[in-house]
Amino acid sequence: MGPAGRQLLLGLRGLARLGTRLEASGDPELDLERTLRSQAKAVREQRIKRQMEPRGPPQRTLSRQAMEQIRFLSREAPEEWPVERLARGFQVPPDVVRRVLRSRFHPSPSRATKQDAVVAAAITGKSEGPTRKEQQRGREVFDATGNFLYRIPEASPPPLVALGPGRKARPK
């Protein structure tokens, strides 16, 4: 069966399911054509929606402690704490709660600390400290033996240098 035959078969199945929702015009070919057009439109909309979403994993919004609490509540009282109620309680979408419940991953303590820092930074809206690139920018200061002393950030003004007694100027 070729692609056209598969589409026709899918259209007929869809027509059988949508038979009560579609206005029956009496012409099965017209009804089938409407069904195929609506399916093609739905596929296009899904493709566009998928392209508009950001790539990569979603941004973390729950700390490790919150994830453990979700698992505990779901395990201890599933009737009292369904996915929708957990999502409302933790102010996240239901798919995030489902992902947490499905996952059994437990990171190392250092990785969990880093993940919690990312969550805290996302909640407060600022980064938890300079990134590696920001740390590497600037001028490094060494002592006479070549040991690293400190780094002057790029954004800070250069230090003042003495020109003589009582006179100071900025280096060029």
Task: Name the residue with higher pLDDT: 59 or 117.
Answer: 117
Assess whether pLDDT exceeds 60 at residue 148. yes
Assess whether pLDDT exceeds 70 at residue 65: yes
Q: Give the Cβ contact number of residue 98 at 10 Å.
A: 13
- pTM value is 0.44
- Asked whether the predicted pLDDT for residue 172 surpasses 70, the reply is no
For the cut 60, the answer to whether the pLDDT of residue 133 exceeds it is: no
Mean of pLDDT values over 35-61: 85
Position 70 confidence tier, pLDDT thresholds 50, 70, 90: very high
Residue 166 has pLDDT above 70, yes or no: no
- 142-158 burial string, b = 16+ CB within 10 Å, else e? eeeeeeeeeeeeeeeee
Q: Residue 148 region, left (φ>0) first, then alpha (ψ -120 to 50), else beta?
A: beta
Category of 6 on φ-ψ map: left (φ > 0), alpha (ψ -120 to 50) or beta: alpha
Q: Residue 151 gets which letter from DSSP?
A: E
**Interstrand relation of 161-164 and 167-169 (parallel, antiparallel or unpaired):** antiparallel
Residue 118 has pLDDT above 90, yes or no: no
For residue 39, pLDDT over 90 is answered with yes
Average pLDDT of the segment spanning 25-32: 81
State residue 61's pLDDT score: 83
For residue 70, the tally of other CB atoms under 10 A from its CB is 22
* % the chain with pLDDT above 70: 62
What are the pLDDT digits (tens) for 90-111? 888 998 999 999 988 888 989 9
pLDDT of residue 59: 77
pLDDT bucket at 150, cuts 50 / 70 / 90:
low
Radius of gyration of the chain (CA): 30
